[in-house]
With several copies, the nearest count.
Chain A
Amino acid sequence: MKNAMPKNSTQTKAEKLREDFPILKTMVRGTPLVYLDSAATSQRPSQVLAAYCLFCQSHNANVHRGIHSLGEQATDRYEAARERVASFIGAPSKHTVIFTRGTTESINLVCYSYANKFLKRGDIIVLTPMEHHANLVPWQLVANITGAKLRYWPMKPDGTLDMSATNDILKPPVKMVALTHISNVLGTINPVTEITAAAHAIGAKVLIDGAQAVPHISVNVSEIGCDFYAFSGHKMCGPTGIGVLWGREELLEEMDPFMTGGEMIQEVFLDHSTWNEIPYKFEPGTPPIGEAVSLGAAVNYLSDVGMDWIEKHDHKLAAYALERLSSEEGIEIYGPLNGERGALISFNVEGIHPHDLATLLDRDGIAVRAGHHCAQPLMRQLGVPATARASFYLYNLHEEIDQLMEGIHRAKEVLAYAR
């Protein structure tokens, strides 16, 4: 099987890129690791780790407040990372890029600082049934606090949003639309530009959860036209402990701070305080400095590899996996089947609980995710307790999908049709 796979244009480059990821040479129970869980967290190339180490060993200091050279160097590098990120996502200015811990904090920030302040009883918040808990639970609390109501965009059987419902869904008093750019379960790529335009037409604001998009496709927040865009470092070859909230400048200016403390203030008196300018208003205390520098390096890495190339490679892998999985008996696949999808596939093998499948695949060194993928409401809608999910990234190879299929065959031998 392995030898039968025709090489293709992106394959050669991917093989080369793997050199940058020493962890991919890890042995699991005696077999080489096949890492198909990048949607949960990606691996980090040596270049990014090296940038982190260089910072720690040569420029480490606290930022913004230090007059000494080391403090200046640290601040320069921290702010340069912000600039890199801003240009990577097409932000109109670097001041609109806020460093957070991750997508989850970014969305919570919008909920606390924007939604709790500006939404009110009777307003409607539109979500989709495919949201990650990070873009769902915070809105439930906003609804509790403000009296706004949640409305869910209907989804078609193929796991795409029913766009024919747009006019029914997007009408006053909808004030907020929060949706994922790419679903971490279905792989659906939502038409965020179109939805943003429709939402703006009725005066609603739009937040996009880009956790699964920024690592995989080239994203330009200005072209999308949205109001907030959130993503995480650890899914895009960067470190844990850092993420980004991009926000429209006027909105960021109007918002109250979320967390308070040092650095985000202008003046502090015993009984009250005034706030620093954006983005610092939203970055209280010592920020994740080394992590930001490292995210900047990840952005450089992705740019060097080329987002176009990544998108193409991802697409080929997903299409091949889709082809292999759908030509196999007893496998149910969730999400769009036409290839218009992100680099991940959720599926179930008849008669095998996904947890058992994941455990059995792990025996062969194959790391897939199994569970609800932080999307319990979606699982209920799909009518399954859980799914298995294989997700791909720039370092994955076609051969690894073959290995996945072989693993599934072995798992079937052990367990399938058991009950």
Chain B
Amino acid sequence: MPDDLYGEILLDHNRYPRNFGALESPTVHVEGKNPLCGDELALDLVFDGDSLKEIRFKGQGCAIAMASTSMMTEMLKGKSAQEIREWIERFKNFMRDGGALPDDADMGDLEALSGISKLPVRVKCALLAWTTMEEGLKQLAKK
């Protein structure tokens, strides 16, 4: 199973993370960390009204955290706050339910993270990006 885990798609996102970097004047800047792992992540989000126009991330973490973040940025770019919320729920369920694919959406590259759901200690690595994004939405709502 770890063989699938570190498959081509995951490794590609780890090696060439999409949307890596920072943004000039983000609508929301939000940081997340996993103190127990030492993983750290910063997200810059630019919203146009309700819609996520731009997203960039910086951070350090394991391959799983990096790949999950990279995939998330690709998946969420252009989505509305409500859609993002749905995706966060969908991803959490995906991790919780042993990696069963949801029938209401195409997971895209995220499918490659399926195996992680079977490694409870690593799930939190994959979740970091998503819980940080959740926090970002909360900050957006306060604006």
Q: Which residues of A contact B (CB under 8 A)?
A: 29, 64-67, 71-72, 75-76, 266-267, 274, 353-356, 359-360, 362-363, 371-372, 376, 379, 384-386, 414-415, 418-419
Contacts and interface: CB of A to CB of B under 8 A. Distances in A.
Contacts of A67: 119, 121-122
Given A385-B38, A419-B14, A419-B15, A356 B121 contact: no
A359 B5 contact: yes
Given A67-B121, A386-B38, A418-B15, A353 B62 contact: yes
A359 B2 CA distance: 7
Interface in B28-67: 35-40, 60-64, 66
Contacts of B38: 371-372, 379, 384-386
B101 to A, nearest CB: 22
B132 to A, nearest CB: 16
A415 B63 contact: yes
Contacts of A355: 37, 62, 64, 122, 125
B20 to A, nearest CB: 10
B36 A359 contact: no
A248 to B, nearest CB: 25
Contact of B121 (A71, A376, A384): A71
Interface in B55-102: 60-64, 66
A70 B6 CA distance: 20
23 contacts: A64-B121, A66-B121, A67-B121, A76-B120, A267-B35, A354-B62, A355-B122, A355-B125, A359-B6, A359-B119, A359-B122, A363-B3, A372-B36, A384-B38, A385-B37, A385-B61, A386-B37, A386-B38, A414-B6, A415-B11, A415-B14, A418-B11, A419-B17
Contacts, number: 71
A64 B121 CA distance: 7
Given A385-B38, A414-B6, A419-B15, A353 B121 contact: no
Interface of B: 1-3, 5-6, 11, 14-15, 17, 35-40, 60-64, 66, 119-122, 125
A417 to B, nearest CB: 9
Given A72-B120, A353-B63, A356-B62, 18 more contacts: A67-B119, A72-B119, A353-B62, A355-B62, A355-B64, A359-B2, A359-B119, A359-B122, A363-B2, A363-B3, A371-B38, A379-B38, A384-B38, A385-B40, A386-B38, A415-B11, A415-B63, A419-B14
Nearest to B63: A356
Contacts of A356: 6, 62-64
Kindly list the 10 A-B residue pairs having the minimum CB-CB distance in the complex, ordered from nearest.
A385-B38, A353-B62, A267-B35, A355-B62, A363-B2, A386-B38, A356-B63, A418-B15, A356-B62, A266-B35
Contacts of A65: 121
A353 B125 CA distance: 12
Given A356-B62, A359-B5, A414 B11 contact: yes
A361 to B, nearest CB: 9
A356 B64 CA distance: 8
Contact of B6 (A29, A71, A385, A415): A415
A385 B11 contact: no
Nearest to B33: A267
B86 to A, nearest CB: 25
A385 B15 contact: no
A385 B63 contact: no
